[in-house]
Amino acid sequence: MPISPHGSMLKDANPQTLSAGLTTSIWFLVGSLPLLIAVAERLNASNAHTASWIFVSYLACGFSGIGLSLYYRQPIAIGWTIPGMVYIGTVAGQFSLSEIVGANIVAGLIITVLGGFGLGGFVLRILPLPIVLGMFAGGILSYVTRLVTATIEDGVIGGATIAGYLIGRFLDHQRLPPLLLALIFGGVASALVSNGQMPTVNWVAPSIIFPDVTFSVAAILTIGLPMVILSAGLGTVQGLGFLKSQGYEVAANAITLIVGIGSTISAIFGGVPTIVARSAGAILASTEAGPSQQRYVGAVVASFSLVVIALFAMPLASLVGLLPKAYVVVLAGLAIFSALQEAIEKAITSDMKSGALVAFCVAATPFSLLGITSSVWAIVAGLIMSAVVEREALSSASGEQ
pLDDT digits (tens, 9 = 90+) for 343-391: 888 888 888 889 999 999 998 888 777 766 677 788 889 999 999 988 8
- The torsion region of residue 257 among left (phi > 0), alpha (psi -120 to 50) and beta comes to alpha
What pLDDT is recorded for position 212? 84
For residue range 218-234, what is the model confidence (pLDDT) as tens digits?
888 877 877 777 677 66
Q: State residue 1's pLDDT score.
A: 41
The more confidently predicted of residues 332 and 192 is: 192
Mean pLDDT of the chain: 80
Distances (CA, A) of 312 to 33, 153, 252, 318: 11, 31, 32, 10
Instruction: Provide CB contacts within 8 A for 167, sequence distance 6+.
Output: 178, 181, 185
Of 212 and 313, the structure prediction assigns the larger pLDDT to: 212
- Can you give the pLDDT at residue 304? 93
Contact status, residue 134 vs residue 357, Cβ threshold 8 Å: yes
pLDDT digits (tens, 9 = 90+) for 65-113: 999 999 999 998 888 777 677 677 767 777 888 888 898 899 889 888 8
How many Cβ atoms from other residues are within 10 Å of residue 338's Cβ?
Answer: 18
3-state secondary structure of 373: strand
Q: Is the pLDDT of residue 47 over 90?
A: no
